Structure 1
Amino acid sequence: MSAGVRTATVADLGAIMALERAAFPTDAWSETAMRAEIASPHGRYLALEEAGVLVGYAGLRAPAGAKDADVQTIAVAAAARGRGYGRTLLRALLTEAASRGAAEVFLEVRADNPVAAALYASEGFTELGRRPRYYQPDDVDAVVMRLDLRSWATSSVPDPGVGDRLTTSADVALTDDAAIATRTADTAPREDRL
C-alpha cells in the first residue's frame, strides 16, 4: 500500500487530534496546543497518509539557525504500525532538522515504550539520562536521548522516506507543502509512540 508524508496543516487538526487521543490517552495535548504547534514557524509538523487517510503525524522544534532540535512527537495509528511509518516520520524530521542547521537532535521517550526507544537507538540516538516520574498521571520516567545529526547524515540512511531499513514502505513519498510548526511555551516536550 502506498503512503505519503506531507506538511501538516490546521485542516488536519481533527484527524491529528483523534490520533493524538488514541495514542496518548492519559496525556494528550489540547486542541489549542496542537493548533499552535502546527501554525508556528519554529518547527515543522508532518502528516502521513495511507490511501487518503491520516495514519501518522510527527512534530519537530527546530528554530532556523539553532544548534539543536527536539523531536516533539511521533504517533502512528495502531492499525498502521509495523509498516515502517514511525521510521519514515522520524527520518523526515531528522532531515528537516539538518536543513535548518541543527547539529544535534534530542527527544524524550517513555521508559515503558521499548519499541520507540529501539527505533531511536537504531537511528543512532543514545541515552543521556532519565527524568524520574516525568509522565503524569502515569508516574513513568522519561528517557532523554540525543543524536549527533552530523553522524546520522553521513550514515547509510540515504533518504527519509525510502531506504534499506524500511520493511514494507519502499513506496513512501516525501512531499513538501510548506506549512510550519513548533512547540508552545506552556507545553512540555514529550515522547513519541509508534
Structure 2
Amino acid sequence: MTGADNPTPELAAALAAMHARAFNDPWPVSAFVALLSLPEARLEVAADGFILTRLAADEAEILTLAVCPAARRRGLGRRLVETAAAALAAEGATRLFLEVAEDNAAARALYAGAGFASVGRRPGYYGRPAGAVDALVLARDLAAPDGMAI
C-alpha cells in the first residue's frame, strides 16, 4: 500500500495499537495518520505485524517494523522486511536504510540476517531511562543480485 491509497483513521488506529504492543515508546495514532498520508509511504501488513517504509528517488527507509511479542521469533519480521525490500526494489529503490538502537540485539540480528550492514551511527538517538543509546544506521543494497549489504 502506498500513502496515496488514502488510509483510514481506523487503519492508523490499528497500526498504533499494534505498535504499542511491540514497543515501550509507541507512536501515537496521529503519527501514523501523518506518515500514511505521504505519497512516498509504503505499508506491508500481516496479522501480527507491519512494516512502514518511505521511498525517495532510488533510496528507501524503514520507518518502523512492528511484530507483536507473541508472534516474535517465527520469521514474520524477516518476511515483512523481504516483502518490503522486493516491493521497493520493483519501484526503483537501490538502497534500503534503517536506524536501530544499539542495545536492541534481536533487531540487530534480524537485520544482519537480512543483509544489512552498519554505515553510520547517530549518538544518543534513542532515549532510555538509564541514558540515551546510539542508533546504528544500517543499509542494504537492493540492486545487488545477492541482496547483500553495501
Letter in 1 for 2:43: Y
Q: 2:97 aligns with which of 106, 116, 121?
A: 106
Q: 2:120 aligns with which of 123, 129, 132?
A: 129
Q: How many residues align?
A: 142
Letter in 2 for 1:13: A
Structure number with higher helix proportion: 2
Q: Normalization by structure 1: what TM-score?
A: 0.67
Q: 1:32 aligns with which of 30, 33, 36?
A: 30
Alpha-carbon shift at residue 137 of structure 1 (Å) = 4.5
Is the 1:130–1:142 Cα contact (8 Å) retained in structure 2?
Answer: yes
The 5 Å alignment of 1:157-168 reads none
CA distance in 1, matches of 2:29, 2:13: 9
The percentage of counterpart residues that share the same residue type is 38
Is the 1:102–1:149 Cα contact (8 Å) retained in structure 2?
Answer: yes
1:45 matched residue in structure 2 = 43
Letter in 1 for 2:133: V
Matched residue of 2:143: which SS?
helix
CA distance in 1, matches of 2:55, 2:82: 14
2:139 matched residue in structure 1 = 146
Is the 1:56–1:75 Cα contact (8 Å) retained in structure 2?
Answer: yes
CA distance in 2, matches of 1:155, 1:148: 9
CA distance in 1, matches of 2:43, 2:53: 6
Is the 1:37–1:45 Cα contact (8 Å) retained in structure 2?
Answer: no
Runs of 5+ consecutive residues of structure 2 not aligned to the other structure: none
Matched residue of 1:150: which SS?
coil
CA distance in 2, matches of 1:43, 1:97: 11
Q: Normalization by structure 2: what TM-score?
A: 0.85
Runs of 5+ consecutive residues of structure 1 not aligned to the other structure: 1-5, 50-54, 157-194
Is the 1:47–1:58 Cα contact (8 Å) retained in structure 2?
Answer: yes
